Structure 1
Amino acid sequence: MRGKYIVVTGGVLSSVGKGTVSASLGLLLKEMGLKVSLVKVDPYINVDAGTMNPYMHGEVFVTEDGAETDLDLGHYERFVGIDMSKYNNVTAGKVYFEVIRKEREGKYLGQTVQIIPHVTDEIKSMIHRAAEMADAEVTIVEIGGTVGDIESLPFLEAVRQMKLEDEGGVVFVHVALVEHLKATGELKTKPLQHSVQELRRIGIQPDIVVARAEVPLDEESRRKIALFTNVRPELVFSSYDVDTAYEVPSILQQQGLHKGVLSRLGISPRKEGSNPLEDFVKRMKNSSREVDLTLVGKYVKLKDSYISIREALYHAGVALNVKPKIKWVEAEELEGGEEKLSLLENSEGLMVLPGFGSRGVEGKIRAVRFARENNIPFLGICYGFQLAVVEFARDVLGLKGAHTTEVDPNTPHPVVTVLEGHKPTRGMGGTMRLGGQKIYIKDGTLMRAIYGTSVVDERHRHRYEVNPEYVDALEKAGLVVSGVSDEGLVEFVELKGHRFFVGTQPHPEYKSRPLRPSPIYMAFLAAAAGLEVSAQAVPITTLP
């Protein structure tokens, strides 16, 4: 059977909710018995998201096979419960890189290489390959950006051609903003109408429209949208503001979006389908108590920079029946006098977040020391873990000037450094230690109790490592190395005699799912809430 495609486009402005709509639709179709995959198309020229500043594009999400991708792939994994791969993120950089490679190798047999057909053919090839690699019956293709962006035009042309080549095999879903004027209570549909007109101008007629607004669509607005976009009223759907994105599948399911899509594709569902996130949302809204958490990072002004961490805490909260109340603290704000540490007061749990570079490093180190000395449950992720080692070396071992060579290449005590064999030899992009890696956990440690097994797999994204030359001294002083890699590199540390003090080189948040929370995040939140941490908490259910 040849796979079919749902192409999701966006209008008016970016970040309107295409990723959440795509992920929600993927979940609903999967629950109806279909094998589903998703592809995110990013029109930027970067080959991948790995070298991009989080303020530019939010979090970099890492797949099991080590691809540095758009954050929407995190939405797909969390909602649909399937692993994404390097094939599920197509960027303009990848496309043009491949076209130029083929031209240099003479694959085009002397032709003049052009956007049409060479670039558009490569786009189609990458989309089809992603579907084939997943053996998907239905592949949802989300086109990044908005209609009218010059960067998006080749991608829109490619999916237009896909529809032409297989009329019954492609459905277009357009997601666009409907402005709600609070002063008058009116819903203004004109911006959405204009975005559809622009889409039609380049040859694409949407089959379905999802109107994104603060409030639900009224019937008059629905009829107006249908009339001016040439879409039947029953195929105009409303996606409105809710407390959590995990409610969106229920909203769209109640309106029948999934059934409308399958009808247009000529597919019969294998079962009626349910929404496994409904109970999760109910529990999330009815958690019995709040836990005050402080998260220290260098990109906290844009919360999407740490979206997987935030969601992992919410997943753990639902499993434990507690509600994480997050206070975001900019690391630089902790640098200076002792009064700066007042920002960390009243923390029931403290996290130091991932990042790169020197900005805010001393503030992060001060946060680590505050948690260690005040017996506050602590979790350091990646760079946060490395700086916890730096703080311990300085303040417990007394190694004056101890640092990571990322910040101070001339430090007298390089407790964190780039090891031989891990130094980049071909630039920065795609050269870190990336993706799923096995970790061997030592018996008798807290991490062994948390995971309940001796071997785990977690995803990585880092270049620097704890220097093996300092491990013996660190352990003698009480910092336990509780997990190591195949090569013997330090993966997990924990502190003897502390309520909960854990550092993790990998990013366990990447694998956390609503119904299958990360064991480390559950243990940290349990410690912050004063609950039992000696054994792994039990998730409310398990995704199939």
Structure 2
Amino acid sequence: MSMTRYIFITGGVVSSLGKGLLSAALGTLLQARGYTVRLRKLDPYLNVDPGTMSPYQHGEVYVTDDGAETDLDLGHYERFTGVPSRTTDNVTSGRIYQDILTKERRGDYLGGTVQVIPHVTDAIKDFVLAQTDGIDFVLCEIGGTVGDIESLPFMEAIRQLGTDLDRGQSCFIHLTLVPFIKAAGELKTKPTQHSVKELRGIGISPDILVCRAEQPIPLGERHKIALFCNVAKSAVIQALDVSSIYEVPIAYHGEGLDDEVLKVFGLPAEQPVDLSRWNDIVKNLKNPEGEVKIAIVGKYTGLKDAYKSLSESLVHGGIANRVNVKIEWIEAELFEQPDAIHRLEDVHGILVPGGFGQRGTEGKIAAARFAREHNIPFFGICLGMQMAVVEAARNMAGLEGAGSTEFGTPKVPVVGLLTEWATEAGIEIRESDMDLGGTMRLGAYPAKLTTGSHVQKIYGTDRISERHRHRYEVNISYRSQLEEAGLVFSGLSPDSNLPEIIELPDHPWYIGVQFHPELKSKPFDPHPLFASFIGAALKQSRLV
């Protein structure tokens, strides 16, 4: 296959229909036919990236190996296709405008007027086309909903690309909603018709319509949609709810989505499709041999999307152990009340995730202590590890007043602001009063593991690379006092200055990590720490 082909995925009627999952599932279906894919997300909001946005606004921030803070949909892309996302796979209006205005201030436009068309649209087109050599299919998801003012430059850019590219080199897929009106007992096609009319009004004619519905769409209604929306009857694909997101590729294949896409490009659809990996995953999910209950003691539990990769990684750990993982979401602040900690008595594992700011930190410390004292498997991630270290400093090493400088000036700063660290390119330096955006230790960093430690046995190697997103570090100068008290520093940065992993050797499973292992877990390749943690929880469930 000589040329790269482009698939543009837009959404209409309402947001949150599942464009990200559609992109990820289609990517994996094309892979199953032997093609190579690259997935990209165009976000119309004005933030430069989601890094400084509250998780309640935008869900989790997904971090790539090369240190980009991106949209959580890139997590779906990676989990489904296994293709590592890069900085060049997510762009926002904010970044586009920032780049253009920097050029304008520098005089790059030689006194010309800078406009949305062609300058903004050209920048978007350059982003879509960049670094795609040797890739069979590039799937581009456009955030937001057709009709949004902010998404218009993106729609115009992909309209232009549809013309710029050779015939048969682009495909437009539009995802809409076909609602069921209970009182009338009918599915309604009018919202889809209006959405397509809006799309065609800006010059884009969809090749394929994917219709989300709660009930099967009768053939007659599908033909009506095809007629009024000017698409082939076979190109109206229904998307019904499924019990697990990992069933989505199988469901879309069953509806003929990938066949239809190949038809648009004039490619043969006859070659065999290998979906055995997904069939196995779904079989495991539907036929568990047991159940474990995991408490996630976090700060943003009101919005599950804030911990999207985390909850999926626990599912992957369940797949590895053939068990169903039941997650109990608990707001960390709850444990700042007396007696509330008893809520953790019947769980089989406690996970304390990352977060920023002081709210709920004493509750996280209380959860870490409960897990340590009651021999319940404990997994601390990022801030969760830091709070486990603070707990050990206070209650094991007797360091009264131990805390983190993130929340003031503690008497014993066992966690402090990271101002410089070693990278492959040299020393990175940060100032405490810098902008918040992009000033953390971000992306993949190597670590060395202590031979014979619990984590070294779990990973099966003494060198690892994991993704980071944090501004504060455990203070290495307290290492000897903490190790004398029984908390082992079993993973360090290559220069031995930054603690990466802590563990309690005399505990069934007690591990804290400074990085985010959930960002690299996949259903067909569960992260070893999550597989091991769920394995320990399974043992715990048999003791309870």
Report if TM-score (shorter chain) is over 0.5.
Answer: yes
Instruction: Show the 5 A alignment for 1:362-377.
Output: 362-377=362-377
The equivalent residue for 1:448 is 456
Deviations 1:89-121 (A, max 9, x none): 011111111111222233222211000001000
Of 385-394 and 210-219, more deviation after overlay is shown by 210-219
Deviations 1:427-469 (A, max 9, x none): 1111111111111000110001100001011111111111011
The equivalent residue for 2:424 is none
The equivalent residue for 1:472 is 480
**Which residue identity is paired with 1:145?**
G
Instruction: Show the 5 A alignment for 1:311-390.
Output: 311-337=312-338, 339-390=339-390
**Which residue identity is paired with 2:168?**
G
Distance between the aligned counterparts of 1:266 and 1:469, measured in 2?
A: 64
Of 289-298 and 424-433, more deviation after overlay is shown by 424-433
TM-score (norm 1): 0.95
User: Does the Cα contact within 8 Å between 2:376 and 2:540 map onto a contact in 1?
Assistant: no
The equivalent residue for 1:428 is 436
Q: Secondary structure, in 3 states, of the residue corresponding to 2:48?
A: coil
**Which residue identity is paired with 2:44?**
P
Q: CA deviation at 1:52?
A: 0.8
The equivalent residue for 1:292 is 293
Q: CA deviation at 1:397?
A: 1.4
Q: CA deviation at 1:2?
A: 3.2
Q: CA deviation at 1:346?
A: 0.5
The equivalent residue for 1:226 is 226
Distance between the aligned counterparts of 2:394 and 2:313, measured in 1?
A: 31
Distance between the aligned counterparts of 1:356 and 1:255, measured in 2?
A: 43
**Which residue identity is paired with 1:148?**
G
The equivalent residue for 2:14 is 13
User: Does the Cα contact within 8 Å between 1:493 and 1:502 map onto a contact in 2?
Assistant: yes
Q: Secondary structure, in 3 states, of the residue corresponding to 2:155?
A: helix
Q: Secondary structure, in 3 states, of the residue corresponding to 1:406?
A: helix
Q: Secondary structure, in 3 states, of the residue corresponding to 1:314?
A: helix
Q: Secondary structure, in 3 states, of the residue corresponding to 2:151?
A: helix
The equivalent residue for 2:242 is 242
Distance between the aligned counterparts of 1:270 and 1:233, measured in 2?
A: 20
CA RMSD of aligned residues (A): 1.5
Distance between the aligned counterparts of 1:259 and 1:269, measured in 2?
A: 5
The equivalent residue for 2:139 is 140
Instruction: Show the 5 A alignment for 1:408-419.
Output: 408=408, 410-419=409-418
**Which residue identity is paired with 2:32?**
E
Q: Secondary structure, in 3 states, of the residue corresponding to 1:222?
A: helix
The equivalent residue for 2:170 is 170
User: Does the Cα contact within 8 Å between 1:289 and 1:321 map onto a contact in 2?
Assistant: yes
The equivalent residue for 2:405 is 405
The equivalent residue for 1:437 is 445
Q: CA deviation at 1:190?
A: 1.5
Residues 84 and 53 of structure 1, relative CA distance in 2, 3 Å threshold: same
Distance between the aligned counterparts of 2:245 and 2:367, measured in 1?
A: 31
**Which residue identity is paired with 1:423?**
R
**Which residue identity is paired with 1:498?**
H
Instruction: Show the 5 A alignment for 1:109-148.
Output: 109-132=110-133, 135-148=134-147
**Which residue identity is paired with 1:210?**
V
User: Does the Cα contact within 8 Å between 2:454 and 2:505 map onto a contact in 1?
Assistant: no
Q: CA deviation at 1:139?
A: 0.4
Deviations 1:247-280 (A, max 9, x none): 1111111122111111111234694222221210
Structure 2 gap ranges (5+): 421-428
User: Does the Cα contact within 8 Å between 2:489 and 2:502 map onto a contact in 1?
Assistant: yes
Deviations 1:280-329 (A, max 9, x none): 01111111101011111010111011010111111111111111111000
Distance between the aligned counterparts of 1:4 and 1:393, measured in 2?
A: 56
Deviations 1:174-206 (A, max 9, x none): 001111234454212211211111111111111
Distance between the aligned counterparts of 2:33 and 2:216, measured in 1?
A: 26
Q: Secondary structure, in 3 states, of the residue corresponding to 2:52?
A: coil
User: Does the Cα contact within 8 Å between 2:125 and 2:157 map onto a contact in 1?
Assistant: yes
Percent of aligned pairs sharing the same letter: 51
Distance between the aligned counterparts of 1:401 and 1:186, measured in 2?
A: 64
Instruction: Show the 5 A alignment for 1:54-203.
Output: 54-132=55-133, 135-166=134-165, 167-203=167-203
User: Does the Cα contact within 8 Å between 1:7 and 1:170 map onto a contact in 2?
Assistant: yes
Distance between the aligned counterparts of 1:420 and 1:202, measured in 2?
A: 49
Q: Secondary structure, in 3 states, of the residue corresponding to 1:530?
A: helix
Distance between the aligned counterparts of 2:112 and 2:430, measured in 1?
A: 40
Residues 531 and 343 of structure 1, relative CA distance in 2, 3 Å threshold: closer
Distance between the aligned counterparts of 1:423 and 1:95, measured in 2?
A: 25
User: Does the Cα contact within 8 Å between 1:34 and 1:269 map onto a contact in 2?
Assistant: no
Q: Secondary structure, in 3 states, of the residue corresponding to 2:253?
A: helix
Q: CA deviation at 1:426?
A: 4.1
**Which residue identity is paired with 2:319?**
V
Residues 391 and 74 of structure 1, relative CA distance in 2, 3 Å threshold: same
The equivalent residue for 1:310 is 311
Structure 1 gap ranges (5+): 533-544
Distance between the aligned counterparts of 1:13 and 1:189, measured in 2?
A: 14
User: Does the Cα contact within 8 Å between 2:467 and 2:519 map onto a contact in 1?
Assistant: yes
Distance between the aligned counterparts of 2:227 and 2:401, measured in 1?
A: 69
Deviations 1:501-534 (A, max 9, x none): 00011111100011110000111110010189xx
TM-score (norm 2): 0.95
